[in-house]
Chains A and B, each alone.
Chain A
Amino acid sequence: MVDVHYTPIIPLLPLVSFALFVLGASVRSWLGKGARLSDQVAYVSVALMGVSWLLALAVAFDVLVLRSGQPYYYAYPWLSVGSVLIRFGFMVDPMSAVMLIVVATVAFGVQWYSLGYIAGDEKQPRFFAYLSLFSSAMLALVVANTLLELFFAWEIMGLASYLLIGFWYEKPAAMRAAKKAFVVTRVGDTFFFIGMLWLVLQTGTTDFANLVLGTAHGGALSATGENAVITGGPYLKALMGTTTLGWIALLIYGGAVGKSAQFPLHVWLPDAMEGPTPVSALIHAATMVAAGVYLVARMYPIFDLAAPLTVLGITFRPLGLVALVGLGTALMAAYIAFSQSDIKRILAYSTISQLGFMFIGLGCGGTVVGENGVRTFLAIGFSAAMFHLMTHAFFKGLLFLGSGSVIHGTGTQDIWKMGGLWRHMRWTAITFLIGYAALAGVAPLAGFWSKDQILEAAWEYNRLIFWGALLGAGMTAFYMTRLWTVAFTGQWSGGEAAATGHQAVGGHGQHDHGHGGHGLPHESPRSMLIPLVALAGLAAVAGFVGLPKANRFGEMVKYVPPPGWLEPAGAVEEHALHLPTPLRMAQAPGGTVPDSPAVPHSSPAEGDSPRPYGAQQLAPEPLQGGALSFPTEEGLPAVGGEAHAGAAHTPAGHHEVDMGLVWRIGLLSTLAALLGILLGASGYRGRRFNFRAPGALTPMESAVYALSLNKFYLDEIYWAILVTPLFWVTRTARAVDQAIIDGLVNGAGLVTRGISVLSRLVDIWVVDGLVNFSGWICGRLGQGLRRLQTGQVQNYVLVVFIGVLLVIAALVPSR
């Protein structure tokens, strides 16, 4: 029987196919040019991924069903950072199990699809090798048992993503995009790295068994039957309710902002569409970009147990910031998607927008502190975000693969050059339609259920965010309808051949695949369609695991704050006394981890077990503020710790799912979706909206349109405020370095005099000696060393000398 103990093999198998490729490539280079790696490499890769997929399903099944959510944990000592022992190992809790299913399924589907997509390309083996490397890293990330291991996988994944984006490096744009993606995400990773180190310094552990599960050590996990909820309490005790934890959370969130393309680091993702389309589906829609969401969810106790932070007089809780940035990103990206004409870019902005939704979900969960320091716990946001992550992976993976099929069949990426595909590519169109409807939030497809959960979370947390998110849902429906109507209905407009007046806009006609002139669009090969159909099936039904009345998903994937936390702020200190001291994992070199004092085995939420739905009200008295009040402070949405009055007014006895609320929100979101669809359909049927035609817009309107078309000018702004100055600094540094120097040559006398003012003694002693010495040397140098006689060395000496004076001046107190 395959059970959880097979976990380590899951990421290993794709790694094996990567290693096979590397070995194969070197064998080939020894054999010479004649020998060629044939397609077999690809089949090996797909087969290994298939096995890995089956194992992932088995492990997930074991954890979710047979062990009913009890995590699997295995680790052995790896290294120590100071007094902190870090163990290398694996952890599969329900959240990881869900991620395993998602990642392995999409990765397998994408590899299968790529068999047809990339067939005949001479770089095919390399493509599969990179894909395998990526899959391996992503799977390892999901089953990592420490933050450090997660970071390792995170970085390798970034590297694989970089290689894949730049796969068609013949296109300079692809190469630039690869580099941009790598460097931009690195900015976030740097924050993540520092946050991780800080966390280690503060808590003495990076182990998820401690930070996440809140157990003393993972080894005994299965024996003691700790339950599956994410809490982390005991180990974070010393930090609970401190701003330190908040800053750590924000730094770690920085990593998520980079990887998950949140404002302001989202700029790399649209450019990453230069990569092959299966890559876009796998990495830049379904898995890697969701890793940021996963990271925040993994580290949820850190985010939740932190105190509100105050920056520039604005108080906010870290999760509130996450929600707010998510909302901003969701709306901005949706707005940009309105005007893009490249099918993949539309989907890319859609992805950014949907990731924003997931962060809204995460941000609208957790604990809020009301007036009087009353803590209220919002249970739903956390699982809603993970739920949306899962459904999004399926339908967005489907949409990207569908767009790949479209590009394959039409030879263009510009939706304005498509049209009428419904007739020509029936299978692609049907599956695309399902994905589109799921994304737009049409009941009962997957996206509807998960989006509604996020909306519910937002409703309970902050009404402004709720209305914003609802607007975002409507916008989503609109831009997807626009895409659908323009590309799939109406008449075929002739592909690349019909390039009339569209060049001005985004579409860099160079298409993915490099096959030449197209006549009518044609359907793609079967190997590409099978994954489409499979994913379409998932996109249609995946939502049923999280129905409001029977939320199997939410019961499994949930976060519960540690005991005592929900008492009024301030009371937590005494209450937490019975918890074990947080722990440096005391260690002797090579020693084992001693068991820390037993963690009380009371399940954190014992007796008052949290429901996946609804706000759990443990506060002694009802919150102030009406349910419909808009708690704002000087116009700012109240993400602040102070004004959460409106966040969760819940009637007494609200431990059951509030079906009334579910219905209301379902209705509202359906209304929004319908509105978006109708607007899009009526506007783009027969291509009535064509804002690009000259004179179609008033100046005011065209400014609004240009904002969307030009992506809020963020690339330009970054270029102006970051890249240009960097290059300026760079040039300056080099100039200073190489030739401070010319100026000094001319001013040598001046400098000498200046120096003599600074230090008469050293002046006489060194400069004179130096000049004499240089003269002596120069006299000896032959014609061959003419360059030296220009005086460069003297000037180097001068630089060193000025440095000496600066050091002395800095060290010695002047009196």
Chain B
Amino acid sequence: MQITPRDIWNISPHLVVAALGLIILLIDAIWPRISKRQLANLALLGLIGAGALQARFWPRGQVTPVLGGMIVPDGYTAFFNLVLLVGAGISLLLSTDYLEWDGSAHGEYHALVLFTAFGGMVMAAAGHLIVVFLGLEILSISLYILAGYQRERRESQEAALKYFLLGAFASAFFLYGMALVYGYAGSLDLHAIARAAGAGQGAAANQLLLTGIGLLLVGFGFKVAVVPFHIWTPDVYEGAPTSATAFMSVVAKAAGFAAFVRVFALAFPGADLRHQVGAVVASIAMLTMVVGNTAAVLQTNIKRLLAYSSIAHAGYILVGVVAVLRNPAAPAEGVSAVLFYTLAYTFMNLGAFAVVLALRRRGEELLNIEEYAGLGFRYPWLGALMALFMLSLAGMPPTAGFFAKLYLIRAALSPLVGMWWLVITLALTSVVSFYYYIRVVTVMYMRPAVEGEQAPQASAGPHLGTGLALAALGTILLGLIPAGILQAAQQIAEGLVELGGMALR
């Protein structure tokens, strides 16, 4: 295989992010006394640069795979890469102030964020299961370290270890699934698998292939935290440093779904097969929505609440995946719904975490929801923004979350999908979700504020303020004028579907 300059150009955003991570590590090693804020700024600059390079592929990108089919620099890649870059960028903005306050600002944090983003971008662009795995591991290992980043905190160490153990377990399944798929198809290239699975009449009854698909499902399911592979999520979210939780809650999910949808949309074209896999995914989706939303109701810790909420959202997105799998006439609808949802989720979830990161009480983080009493009046902006993010997560118009859900339900409502109960579950569990999201708003606006020493303090530096503003802007704009992004998402989704069709010919 020959690497041409064009290939390099096509993967330039990936390269910039990876190289920047290395450079930051180097700088931090050579000048250990450099201000970490400067490192963060440098990282941000790099992310913006990578974003600019990536924007050249927006929205249609380029369909021909590069590097021997390993990487596909298409519009789909561009979309997810931009989501990941935005997610990583806002996360960096949110982390800077928090880490300084915490006294744990080290250079490697920023490098790790970049490596994670890089891993995610590799996953999004992968046209080959080996590359998916590579990206998955780069992403995961960086996240394990980030989870345990607060070395002095026992919870942080514990979170890292749990995440690592279970993650390794899931990776093993994923790898095994790859092996079985290879056994069936004789290749790990997505198109080659598609040809094999599409040509073989008995694909839908082939135990080797089905077991392989099942294990891949487990691997992705673990990364995006769906029931029952979500079991690590609350503990890890609670234990990890809050800034890292914010980061992993969006980036791991976006990257996981990016690879998940591409692999499942492209590699297994047979209608029977998709129908069958779709049914299993639908069951998982239902279970995830029910468990995530109901378990969130009783949470008292905001990080755990957001953890269960993130599980619930993974369940919603899975509904979109079901629509991709079970609607052969218009899989693009499902894909575009997933794309839009991921972006919307990135903004609103990071926003919610930004508010959490901004709040303190007597030198401690403010994590107990009850302690948010009266916040809406004490800090009108923070309160209003938190209310905005909560309502958006709940799916209220006119916010991003509303349109995100609207498109998901619309994709799943198609008679071809034929899964009324899934839509009904989504609707009913959303009602349940209102209960716990609105509780946060109720506490903020309908409980008298605590005064004096016990009163919560907000400390939002320029970085956090910017991140918060960006998240809020995204949440509002996607709710008011979603047209541009939606059209792009639609085009991109059609591009991906075409790609799948081309591969079969």
Contact = CB atoms under 8 A, between A and B. Distances in A.
Interface of A: 22, 25-26, 29, 77-82, 151-152, 155-156, 159, 162-163, 166, 169-170, 174-175, 178-179, 182-183, 186-187, 190-191, 193-194, 197-198, 200-201, 589-590, 726-727, 729-731, 733-734, 736-738, 770, 774, 777, 781, 784-785, 787-788, 792-793, 796-797, 799-804, 806-808, 810-813, 815
A22 B487 CA distance: 34
Contacts of B263: none
Contacts of A774: 165
B445 A152 contact: no
Interface residues of B, number: 79
A22 B483 contact: no
Nearest to A786: B154
Contacts of A803: 218, 221, 227-229
Given A26-B380, A733-B295, A197 B280 contact: no
B215 interface: yes
17 contacts: A78-B483, A79-B403, A82-B333, A156-B398, A159-B396, A182-B438, A183-B438, A190-B428, A191-B427, A194-B427, A737-B291, A787-B158, A797-B166, A800-B170, A804-B215, A808-B214, A811-B210
A806 B214 CA distance: 10
Interface in B391-420: 391, 396-398, 402-403, 406-407, 409-410, 413-414
A785 B158 contact: yes
| 6 pairs of A and B residues whose beta carbons are closest in the complex | A169-B446, A803-B228, A79-B483, A733-B295, A25-B380, A152-B397
Given A788-B158, A793-B161, A797-B165, A166 B445 contact: yes
Contact of B294 (A186, A733, A797): A733
B381 A26 contact: yes
B447 A797 contact: no
A784 B442 contact: no
A504 to B, nearest CB: 29
Nearest to B234: A737
B234 A777 contact: no
Nearest to B439: A179
B211 interface: yes
Contact of A811 (B211, B231, B438, B486): B211
Q: Residue among B161, B291, B446 with the most chain A CB within 10 A?
A: B446
Contact of B291 (A22, A201, A736): A736
A155 B396 contact: yes
A202 B333 CA distance: 16
Given A201-B414, A812-B211, A800 B294 contact: no
B210 A200 contact: no
Contacts of A79: 403, 481-483, 486
B75 to A, nearest CB: 14
Contacts of A730: 294-295, 297-298
Interface in B476-503: 481-483, 486-487, 491
B445 A169 contact: yes
B295 A802 contact: no
Q: Determine which residue in B227, B284, B291, B380 has the highest number of CB atoms from chain A within 10 A of its CB, and name it.
A: B380
A810 B283 contact: yes
B165 A793 contact: yes
Contacts of A793: 161-162, 165-166
B9 interface: no
Interface stretch (B36-44, B130-138, B429-437): B429-437
Nearest to A738: B234
B495 to A, nearest CB: 14
Interface in B460-490: 481-483, 486-487
A800 B157 CA distance: 21
Contact of A183 (B154, B276, B431): B431
Given A200-B410, A803-B218, A811 B295 contact: no
B451 to A, nearest CB: 10
A555 B378 CA distance: 53
A166 to B, nearest CB: 5
A177 to B, nearest CB: 11
A802 B228 contact: yes
B398 A201 contact: no
A186 B434 contact: yes
B207 A812 contact: yes
Given A179-B442, A198-B413, A785 B231 contact: no
Contact of B409 (A25, A179, A194, A589): A194
Contacts of B199: none
A599 B406 CA distance: 31
A197 B291 contact: no
Report which residue of A729, A785, A812 has the largest number of chain B beta carbons within 10 angstroms of its beta carbon. A812
A166 B217 CA distance: 45
B283 A190 contact: no
Given A155-B396, A183-B431, 6 more contacts: A29-B380, A79-B486, A589-B487, A796-B232, A811-B214, A811-B217
A190 B431 contact: yes
B173 interface: yes
A800 B166 contact: yes
Nearest to A201: B413
A738 B413 CA distance: 34
Contacts of A198: 413
B350 interface: no
B423 interface: yes
A169 B218 CA distance: 46
B396 A811 contact: no
